[in-house]
Structure 1
Amino acid sequence: MTRSFEELTTAEFEAFAQTHADGSYLQTASQARLLARRGWQTSLVGLVEDHKVQAAAVLGWIPVKMGNLFQIDGGMLIDFSNQELVTEFVAGVMAFAKEHQGLFLRIMPNAIYRKFNDDGTQIGTDDNTVIDALMAIGFTHAPATQGWTTNSSPSRQYVKSLKPVLDVDGDSKALRASFAKDGKYYLKKTDQFGIKVHRLAKDELPAFKALTQDTANRLDYHDKDLDFYETVFEEYGDDAYFVFAEMDFPAYIKGQQQARDHLAEVVANLDARIAEKPNYKKLKRQRAEYADQHKQHEKRIAQAQTARQEAGKDVVVIAGALFLATANEMIYLYSGTYDEYKNFYGPYAVQEYAFKQAVARKIPNYNFYGISGVFDGSDGVLGFKQGFAGYAEEKVGSFIKPINSTKYAVYRFLKKILARG
């Protein structure tokens, strides 16, 4: 049987992509539609043999100087250990690109080169399969770099397998038990604080944008525009989870008051026992501990009353995030937290909500997405994600192959000249 390189229908592509081990939101028909609405031209392409898709990709292209940049982000969906298949697929892409004024092809595979534990120690050995397959057919390789990017999928990420939780039928206790010590501690706090989480309707997206923009301003990075979030909502539908964590001040204050009053009774009882046994040091230590807890609740009540007055309303948004679901993974993309409410630990509640949705949908992997790749304790984002007990991955990097070699050489030369200027 001979294989043919074809443009696939949405149904053909999705049937293949949704069951592929390397599938991600970047390789979905929804992402192709989103790219199209953001100025890219797109096509769902694949190798077909006997009416069966053997490999596929979301192929996008956009004008640059002297031609079009063709790109496959998060793909291809292919067996990279099959050199013949890889060679044939790339040949098909190159031929397609030449017909559409292609200048060069860039591929950023969703493939892992190395894995690391939480202190940065490598787990296992390097996997050169993808690198070898693409360099064998003329691609130039750019390894993953440390640091952050907002221009493409990150080269380093933090992930967690949900298979152990799914193996026990998604038991909620098993899910929380799978988290690290910090994650369990802060989630217990969100329980005590009565933090509520809900999924947003489309008309709430301006409030989501206000949250992410506030965070971007504080941390000095560029946020996506409202149109982007609305497009994601429309194109991903039920697979897009826009989520808010909210604080109900009256309910929180009432809970803190009840805890305070209970502790006041405990302290009073200890005072009575100490009066009877003034030399019993253990009772005094207990009394000091409970009295300190009583003060903490008094402090929280006062802080909440002040925050409620400043907010001018009883219920406020404290944190939020956007998650996208595929058959293979739940991925955490964009988020925000109002700094004045950071002590209510809203981001932990938001994450647990998404974890529960993933388990309910029997999604086997949870992807926290980008990290800087620095394990010296300076990456606070990594520290937060480590609270849920996963591991870090370094992807294989990116690969470039000229489509029109002569024009690409001129393009590269001009870029160097402009960079010097």
Structure 2
Amino acid sequence: MTLKQLTLEEYADFLQHQKDYSFLQTQEMAKLLTKKGMTVHPMALITDGQVKVAGLLYSMPMTGGLHMEINSGPVIADEAYLTDFYKGIQDFAKKNGALQLILKPYQTYQSFDGQGQPTSPEKPELISQLTSLGFQFDGLQTGYPGGEPDWHYVKDLSNLTQETLIASFSKKGKPLVKKTNSFGIKIRALKRHELSRFSKITAATSDRREYQDKPLDYYEDFYDSFGDKADFLMASINFQDYHGNLLDGQAKLQEKLALIQTDLDKIPNSRKKQNEHREISSQIETFTVRLAEAKDWMIQYGTEDIDLAASLFIYTPQEMVYLFSGSLTEFNKFYAPVALQEYAMRKALNLKIPFYNFLGIQGTFDGSDGVLRFKQNFNGSIVRKMGTFRYYPNPLKFKILQTIKKLLGR
């Protein structure tokens, strides 16, 4: 049994035979980390010529040594060897000048339904496996500790088809998708030279929600590293087309109203027809208001396609991941993020990807998490990851350096 550093090609070959791993542990992510100036080590525990556990360990300089980390890993072929892998990584970190080693395992600590009710017991043994080796545990947390979520909203696509997808959404989600599809929103993947449009939307969203956005060059490096395994999707609308769609929709409603009126002329006391007449008349009035808005937008924007929202999706053989996104508040009424989600899920079905990961939610279920409410429209479930574990090969040196940094105000 030995811990060995693989080539990226050997590591990629190992991944091809695994069913459960994060995009953060792929060779594409290794390329991105390298572009960002980090050193990537594809580490593997091997016995009898077979890789039992492997993961991308990356390192970067910090005061007094190296910061080393495995994010959303390792990838486990045989759990019986996991402890040995952790010990090997500790030894590697110590021998190679690491001041701290961070682990963020991808294993699920507990599963929940879409409302946050537990559907499986907790797995405290996963935590004790690491703490018994000397790792310090940050604790089970909510929110986005360190900017990354421990709670993921997910959806199983394995038994769905293009025909049954919308039927699988929530009671609120089904009509929301139907309404969104009536607007004539266009969705397409951006080319590399168009990524400034993506960045413009995510920057506006980060300013509004007060979090730090990634710079444009990060998105460009991401595009270069992931290639066709990622889509920077843009949802846009043409207000002339939108106006035309509204006219068509209103005309159909007026035809329907005329038929109802004919029935009412024959049976004026029909409660059913009276109710239908009232409902269709109300819908026609809504279309009149929307047509007036569309005319104003046509004057303002002319014949151009106008960007509404953008999202980055990543594809692995077993999982589609919804990573970054943004939208413009002035166009909220078009629900463009909903259109992007449906588009991505349909592509996942075409690619036969069985699982969809919406990623982060707060992990609080008191109604305060707006991101959770949005994702619940698609009727998924929730998994909780363990969080962050820290190992200090030379704890005294680390403590002294941290004290010095505080004194210097760094």
Could you say whether these structures have the same fold, taking a TM-score greater than 0.5 normalized by the shorter chain as the test? yes
Give the one of 134, 143, 149 matched to 1:147.
143
Q: Which residue of 1 aligns with 2:71?
A: 73
Q: Which residue of 2 aligns with 1:355?
A: 345
Q: Which runs of 5+ in 1 are unaligned?
A: 166-170
The 8 Å contact of residues 18 and 77 in structure 2, kept in 1 or not, is answered as no
Q: Which runs of 5+ in 2 are unaligned?
A: none
The 8 Å contact of residues 243 and 291 in structure 2, kept in 1 or not, is answered as yes
SS at match of 1:163: coil
Summarize the alignment of residues 80-95 of structure 1 with structure 2, pairs less than 5 Å apart: 81-82=79-80, 85-95=81-91
Distance 1:89 1:277, change over 3 A: closer
SS at match of 2:133: coil
Summarize the alignment of residues 11-50 of structure 1 with structure 2, pairs less than 5 Å apart: 11-50=9-48
Task: State the alpha-carbon separation in 2 of the partners of residues 147 and 414 from structure 1.
Answer: 30
The 8 Å contact of residues 193 and 252 in structure 1, kept in 2 or not, is answered as yes
CA displacement, residues 238-285 of structure 1 (integer Å, 9 cap, x when unaligned) = 111110112122222112112212322333444455455544444332
Distance 1:240 1:254, change over 3 A: same
CA displacement, residues 389-413 of structure 1 (integer Å, 9 cap, x when unaligned) = 1111211111111112321232454
SS at match of 2:340: helix
RMSD: 2.2
Give the one of 295, 315, 324 matched to 1:334.
324
CA displacement, residues 356-389 of structure 1 (integer Å, 9 cap, x when unaligned) = 2222222221100010111111111101111111
Q: Which amino acid aligns with 2:365?
A: F
Q: Which residue of 2 aligns with 1:181?
A: 171
Task: State the alpha-carbon separation in 1 of the partners of residues 205 and 395 from structure 2.
Answer: 43
The 8 Å contact of residues 80 and 129 in structure 1, kept in 2 or not, is answered as no
Task: State the alpha-carbon separation in 2 of the partners of residues 331 and 263 from structure 1.
Answer: 39
The 8 Å contact of residues 53 and 78 in structure 2, kept in 1 or not, is answered as no
Task: State the alpha-carbon separation in 2 of the partners of residues 300 and 19 from structure 1.
Answer: 52
Q: Which amino acid aligns with 2:155?
A: K
TM-score (norm 1): 0.91
Task: State the alpha-carbon separation in 2 of the partners of residues 163 and 262 from structure 1.
Answer: 37
Q: Structure 1 residue 25: deviation in Å?
A: 0.8
The 8 Å contact of residues 155 and 395 in structure 1, kept in 2 or not, is answered as yes
Task: State the alpha-carbon separation in 2 of the partners of residues 276 and 389 from structure 1.
Answer: 44
Task: State the alpha-carbon separation in 2 of the partners of residues 17 and 10 from structure 1.
Answer: 10
Q: Which amino acid aligns with 1:73?
A: N
Q: Which residue of 1 aligns with 2:93?
A: 97
Count of aligned pairs = 410
Task: State the alpha-carbon separation in 1 of the partners of residues 15 and 234 from structure 2.
Answer: 30
CA displacement, residues 303-333 of structure 1 (integer Å, 9 cap, x when unaligned) = 1221232224342121110011112211100
Give the one of 165, 168, 189 matched to 1:199.
189
SS at match of 1:61: strand
Q: Which residue of 2 aligns with 1:125?
A: 121
SS at match of 1:362: coil
The 8 Å contact of residues 240 and 303 in structure 2, kept in 1 or not, is answered as no
SS at match of 1:375: coil
Of residues 355-364 and 204-213 in structure 1, the stretch that sits farther from structure 2 once superposed is: 355-364
Q: Percent identity?
A: 35
Q: Structure 1 residue 174: deviation in Å?
A: 1.9
Q: Which amino acid aligns with 1:4?
A: T
Q: Which residue of 2 aligns with 1:168?
A: none
